[in-house]
Amino acid sequence: MSDQGKPVGFKKGLTNYGDREFSVYLRRSFASSMGYSRAMLDKPIVGIAHSASGFNNCHRHFPEMIDAVKRGVLAAGGLPIEFPTISLGETFLTPTSLKFRNLMSMDVEEMTRAQPMDSVVLLGGCDKTVPAQLMGAASADIPAIQLVAGPMSTSRHRGERLGACTDCRRFWARFRAAEIDEQEIDIVERRLASTAGTCAVMGTASTMAIIAETLGMMPANSAACPAVDADRLRIAEETGRVAFELIGKPVRPSEIITQKSVENAWRVLLAIGGSTNAVIHLTAIAGRLGIEVDLRRLNELSDTTPVLVNLKPTGTHYMEDLYAAGGVPAILRQIKHLLHLDCPTVTGETLGARLEDVSWIDHNVVKPFDEPVRETGGLVALFGNLAPRGAILKRSAADPNLFEKEGRAVVFTSLEDLANRIDSDELDVNADDFLVLQNAGPSSDAAMPEAGYLPIPSKLARAGVKDMVRMSDARMSGTAYGTIVLHIAPDAASGGPLGLVRNGDRIRLSVANRSLELLVDDAELDARRAAMPVQDTHKATRGYAMLYEREILQADEGCDFRFLK
């Protein structure tokens, strides 16, 4: 029993046999078969929900990290017990990892609630795993602390630094434009991801790690530490200790993830020029606690938050450089006057207190507030008759020359259509056109893949075109670069106006006005809508696919399931 008289450890949440003492006796008997002494069986339990998997390269060092977490828990006086959950290896899942984020969140929620633990360490890293863990922990609302894999270290190719995955795309674009040959792309393929850890740039994994730290769900300065650094193991050990200390304290996720800490997270997302995917994930995490997100508020914050971090894909450095430059506290220190500093964190101090002893910052990587990489935030939300519920543009990774522009639509009705025609010399396209991809949103069969980074048509790439306006209801990898409008909501498959665009239509993009307008009159759009066959978005007859189809929400609601919000 705990001090408050509530059962702890193995006496918690008993399996129901109709006789409480029998349940304790039976559980202890079975737990004893794992070799625990009676003294250990009586301790509070820190669960370690980890997502190690042979299908997740980013998490290949988790056994070592789990050992370090256990060390921290044991030294503090608790019993650490690890358990696996679903793992989402970004490149190993079809059709997309996003489709399974909510499934993983349900796994985390239900297994932390159903198994006897007094607090839990959430060990994740690869893109969707941290959002899934935070969503699950927010819903279960038992004391929880996040621990991340840490970023990969860079490698070298012909004197250049290489890091997944901005350089993946850069070299692939060079290969498509016939600037490098097959032999060289093979060498690059082997060198892009050469250590354990998450993608080495400001992609989704890095962005979500920084957001988790800013929310207060991780120890200070723990997001950017490289996966292979000895500090990463010390952070894991500290996380185990803190997880034990959370037991019995009123420091649940619902105390940490609040309207104010979510606003801090938006600020940092903008200041780091972070991944567009984080808009969806943060909306979903906040939604689990009833915190509504207004994309118009995102625009207000974006106008007053400069981009300060000089990391790929918007800058030149990598995550390991950010850690050496002072890490997340260095970034937060620069925007301190914009933050709610009284927000609590899992380690007990306020966010403001964490920033007091930030003494040295490498300003090559983290710029001073008044000498930013860009004057305004990395992301903007666009609205208009083409995106009534919003769309997202990562302006920090886009070409400002394309921000105020009208263009002719070149439409691809699906990913298959895109793949079949984008490289055809017959494609009627020029650099001033807008490429439009339909039916790649959350309600489509494709389940919102990171396909929003439409390739430049081969014939234009060969002619030297590096960027053009592209738009879709899909997502984009946080590691990508281009003038790309994403997350158009509602999506085409659910009847959104994106599905009404036809080849040759004119579209006007204005980043200054935050608008995206299809320049077709309402009568014509009504006629097109009336003539469109109704899409069957309920094709699955069983299992998770059926649940997904019926319950998935649009991007502006975080693509969570209706019944989980």
Binding piece for ligand FES, criterion CB under 6 A, among 198-206, 211-219, 374-382, 386-394: 198-206
φ, ψ at 317 (rounded to 5°): -95, 180
Alpha-carbon distance 337 to 183, whole Å?
51
CB 89 → ligand FES: shortest distance, Å?
A: 7
DSSP assignment of 94-143: SS-SHHHHHHHHHHHHHHHHHS--SEEEEEE-STTHHHHHHHHHHHH-SS
Alpha-carbon distance 306 to 316, whole Å?
17
- Determine contact, residues 46/243, Cβ cutoff 8 Å: yes
Residue choice 119, 198, 483, 494 for contact with ligand FES (CB under 6 A):
198
Tell me which residue of 466, 480, 305 sits closest to 380, measured CA to CA.
305
User: Does 126 sit near ligand FES (CB under 6 A)?
Assistant: yes
CB 161 → ligand FES: shortest distance, Å?
A: 17
User: Does 203 sit near ligand FES (CB under 6 A)?
Assistant: yes
Residue choice 8, 46, 49, 58 for contact with ligand FES (CB under 6 A):
58
Binding piece for ligand FES, criterion CB under 6 A, among 195-203, 381-389, 462-470, 517-525: 195-203
Residues in 135-164 that interact with ligand FES by CB under 6 A: 164
Residue choice 91, 385, 510, 515 for contact with ligand FES (CB under 6 A):
91
Tell me which residue of 267, 243, 225 sits closest to 348, measured CA to CA.
243
CB 306 → ligand FES: shortest distance, Å?
A: 26
Residue choice 52, 148, 168, 199 for contact with ligand FES (CB under 6 A):
199
Of 205 and 366, which has the nearer Cβ to ligand FES?
Answer: 205
Residue choice 205, 246, 251, 392 for contact with ligand FES (CB under 6 A):
205
Alpha-carbon distance 539 to 416, whole Å?
19
DSSP assignment of 462-495: HTT-----EEESS---TT--SSEEE--SS-GGGT
Of 153 and 261, which has the nearer Cβ to ligand FES?
Answer: 153
Alpha-carbon distance 152 to 365, whole Å?
17
User: Does 209 sit near ligand FES (CB under 6 A)?
Assistant: no
Of 165 and 387, which has the nearer Cβ to ligand FES?
Answer: 165
Count the site residues for ligand FES by CB under 6 A: 11
Residue choice 82, 107, 109, 127 for contact with ligand FES (CB under 6 A):
127
Tell me which residue of 431, 437, 429 sits closest to 386, measured CA to CA.
437
Of 201 and 460, which has the nearer Cβ to ligand FES?
Answer: 201
CB 476 → ligand FES: shortest distance, Å?
A: 13
CB 206 → ligand FES: shortest distance, Å?
A: 8
Of 199 and 485, which has the nearer Cβ to ligand FES?
Answer: 199
User: Does 320 sit near ligand FES (CB under 6 A)?
Assistant: no
DSSP assignment of 228-280: TSHHHHHHHHHHHHHHHHTTTSS--HHHHS-HHHHHHHHHHHHHTT--THHHH
> Distance of CA 434 to CAs 137, 428, 431, Å?
41, 12, 8
Alpha-carbon distance 379 to 396, whole Å?
7
Residues 6+ apart with CB under 8 A from 422: 412, 454, 455, 457, 458
CB 97 → ligand FES: shortest distance, Å?
A: 9
CB 478 → ligand FES: shortest distance, Å?
A: 9
CB 117 → ligand FES: shortest distance, Å?
A: 26
Of 334 and 479, which has the nearer Cβ to ligand FES?
Answer: 479
CB 203 → ligand FES: shortest distance, Å?
A: 6
- Determine contact, residues 41/31, Cβ cutoff 8 Å: yes
Return residues touching ligand FES (CB under 6 A).
58, 90-91, 126-127, 164-165, 198-199, 203, 205
